Chains A and B, each alone.
Chain A
Amino acid sequence: MTASEIISLSALELGQAIKEGRTTSPEAVDAYLEKIAAEDGRFHSYITVLADEARARAAEVQAKIEAGELTGPLAGVPVALKDNLCTKGLLTTCASKILYNFRPPYTATAVQKLLDAGAVILGKANMDEFAMGSTTETSYFGPTGNPVDPEHVPGGSSGGSAAAVGAYLAPYALGTDTGGSIRQPASYCGVVGMKPTYGAVSRYGLIAYGSSLDQIGPLAHTVSDCAAVLETIAGHDERDSTSAGDPAIDMHYTDALVRDVKGMKIGIPSSYFGEGLDHEVKEAVLAAAEVLRAEGAEIEEFDLPMVDYAIPAYYVIAMAECSSNLSRFDGVKYGYRTERFEDLQDIYKRSRSEGFGTEVKRRLMIGAFVLSSGYYDAYYNKALKVRACIKKAFDEAFAKYDVILAPAAPTTAPKKGESLSDPLKMYLSDIYTVSVNLAGLPGITVPVGQDAKGLPIGMQILGNTFCDKTIIRAAYTYEQAAKERKGGRA
């Protein structure tokens, strides 16, 4: 198989080709590494490319495949990992100066599950520093470019993961989603990205941002790839007590890859399609809804309350949680240490002040404020109550509908440099994604078109708690029907 044939395959197709001996894991890894070397200068989707490690690992994996020890659908297939996922002995920076030299002593559970299934890590993908940002511009290592036009952002915070997949510099990637950080960059980069129900995937080894909101999930070119990756990484983990342990939860996600939405009830929240939504995005998402209607779904508009309160509640909770989580970075045990110190307090304060970027410091201070004595009730506790109201609004919606359709972002990818100067404006662009994290729900973004500049538009499909298979079925049905309409094979 030629390198360009290899690159054109989805992750599952590549896994099949390796299994059938039409290509090998080392050939596939070489094809991607050569493309990364030639093209990633334009996009900067990777912080670290693990060329030598990947080649050595591919040879090992290939031997195991040939010996019949590795038989899964993703065996031998390379992957890009967001750089907040710990990989033993391999640089894991969280796109921050404070972790510029950190080599974790252990591997994240989700990553270990991929490795057990025969994955080969191509490299660590760029991101917003500590996943705090919506454009991948807060990375200490510099911004990532959108695969369609590198002058535009790829979204964030999993912008490197989305751009690597979108630019065909990895067949699939893992990202993390705290307030939309998988779904929004997937939308901006024209790929599929899924945030599973909170608790579906272990967070062990994910460098924490907002622990009650964070989830790991896949980004890929197809819904089938995402389902296969999720099936591989999901499940209870003793080392994350918030990972779902109920055996009644069905995690056979690939069983949901069925083209059938007949009778499925789909709700469209009118408040998500009003003021502030770009008209090209609106038209593309509503046209995609019509595709699902033609496939037999019942679609109606409804009123989803609480939308105006989602962003303030989300940012209060996320900032409060991060101000606590990031107190571990102190210049003592690992990471960056200041050179100017006399006492221990200096080490703490100066290592943190020199090691964290502007957006991280902003969130740490607001987080400290909303948790501080005298303001705790007015901000943090209030946000937790608003969170309960938002969850209740979704519970009521899912009593009537199987899934909810929404845009992933109000616009297509903005140009680089437009968001950094005005943090509040950047926060407001998360309007369609943050509620899902507050309520712990699953959401998947599928590409549904382009704007006049050719920049991708994505649609979110949201589901009820642990109904991840329902949104996979809806997303798969849309993908197959849309492909057929374009004249491709379904």
Chain B
Amino acid sequence: MAVSITDQTVEYVAALAKLELSEAEKERTKKDLEEILGYMDTMNELDTEDVEPMSHVNPVKNVFREDVVINGPDRENILSNAPEEQDGCAVVPPTFN
């Protein structure tokens, strides 16, 4: 099943990935998606009807511990990386007006 990649598909995946693309990037993305997804379709040659999907190779399970704070207050240090900081918080533009 070859996927046909439309302009809408490109805009949709860019929106999902929170990216803004130039016209040239959109063209390139369309070509890349077609070519790379087309190649990924070779997986369809393999019958996996009765196979359980494997998201992790080692058995992983929930790990529980007591709800105790182990990383000390480090606000100043952490915020020193923020592009804009005020009163101990990272600053962003208003989301509601």
Query: Interface residues, chain A, CB within 8 Å of chain B?
Result: 101-103, 105, 198-199, 212, 238, 241-242, 244, 306, 308-309, 311-313, 315-316, 323, 327, 330-337, 341-344, 346-350, 352-353, 356, 361-362, 364-370, 372, 375, 378-379, 381-389, 391, 423-424, 427, 438-440, 465
28 A-B residue contacts at CB 8 Å?
A102-B81, A212-B55, A212-B56, A212-B57, A309-B43, A312-B41, A315-B36, A315-B40, A334-B83, A336-B83, A344-B92, A350-B20, A356-B19, A362-B29, A365-B17, A365-B29, A368-B16, A368-B17, A369-B33, A370-B37, A384-B55, A385-B48, A385-B54, A387-B53, A388-B52, A424-B35, A440-B58, A465-B58
- Contact assessment for B42 and A348 in the assembled complex, using a CB-CB cutoff below 8 Å: no
Quick one: given A349-B18, A365-B13, A440-B57, are A333 and B37 in contact (CB under 8 Å)?
Answer: no
The CA-CA distance from A366 to B29 in the complex, in Å, is: 9
- Contact assessment for A349 and B54 in the assembled complex, using a CB-CB cutoff below 8 Å: no
Residue of B nearest to A316 (CB): B40
Residue of A nearest to B16 (CB): A368
- Contact assessment for B55 and A349 in the assembled complex, using a CB-CB cutoff below 8 Å: no
Checking B21, B44, B95 against A344 with a beta-carbon cut-off of 8 angstroms, the contacting residue is B95
In the complex, how many angstroms separate the beta carbon of B39 from the nearest chain A beta carbon?
6
- Contact assessment for A382 and B44 in the assembled complex, using a CB-CB cutoff below 8 Å: yes
Residue of B nearest to A372 (CB): B16
Complex interface: chain A residues within 8 A of B63 (CB): 241
The CA-CA distance from A300 to B95 in the complex, in Å, is: 65
Complex interface: chain A residues within 8 A of B17 (CB): 323, 352, 361, 364-365, 367-368
- Total residues of chain B contacting the partner, CB 8 A: 52
The CA-CA distance from A349 to B14 in the complex, in Å, is: 9
Complex interface: chain B residues within 8 A of A370 (CB): 37, 40
- Contact assessment for B54 and A366 in the assembled complex, using a CB-CB cutoff below 8 Å: no
Residue of A nearest to B75 (CB): A105
- Contact assessment for A349 and B20 in the assembled complex, using a CB-CB cutoff below 8 Å: yes
In the complex, how many angstroms separate the beta carbon of B51 from the nearest chain A beta carbon?
4
- Contact assessment for A332 and B51 in the assembled complex, using a CB-CB cutoff below 8 Å: no
Residue of B nearest to A103 (CB): B81
B69 within 8 A of A: no
In the complex, how many angstroms separate the beta carbon of A385 from the nearest chain B beta carbon?
4
Residue of A nearest to B35 (CB): A424
- Contact assessment for A372 and B93 in the assembled complex, using a CB-CB cutoff below 8 Å: no
The CA-CA distance from A298 to B40 in the complex, in Å, is: 37
Complex interface: chain A residues within 8 A of B48 (CB): 382, 385-386, 388-389
- Contact assessment for B42 and A365 in the assembled complex, using a CB-CB cutoff below 8 Å: no
- Contact assessment for B53 and A384 in the assembled complex, using a CB-CB cutoff below 8 Å: yes
- Interface-centre pick from B9, B33, B46 (highest chain A CB count, 10 A): B46
B86 within 8 A of A: no
Quick one: given A105-B77, A384-B54, are A238 and B42 in contact (CB under 8 Å)?
Answer: no
- Contact assessment for A389 and B83 in the assembled complex, using a CB-CB cutoff below 8 Å: no
- Contact assessment for B83 and A423 in the assembled complex, using a CB-CB cutoff below 8 Å: no
The CA-CA distance from A272 to B74 in the complex, in Å, is: 51
In the complex, how many angstroms separate the beta carbon of A208 from the nearest chain B beta carbon?
14
Complex interface: chain A residues within 8 A of B14 (CB): 365
Complex interface: chain A residues within 8 A of B54 (CB): 384-385, 387-388, 391
Within 8 A of A (CB), among B44-94: 44-46, 48, 51-58, 60, 63, 65, 74, 77-78, 80-84, 90, 92-94
Complex interface: chain B residues within 8 A of A306 (CB): 46
Checking A312, A332, A365 against B82 with a beta-carbon cut-off of 8 angstroms, the contacting residue is A332
In the complex, how many angstroms separate the beta carbon of A193 from the nearest chain B beta carbon?
21
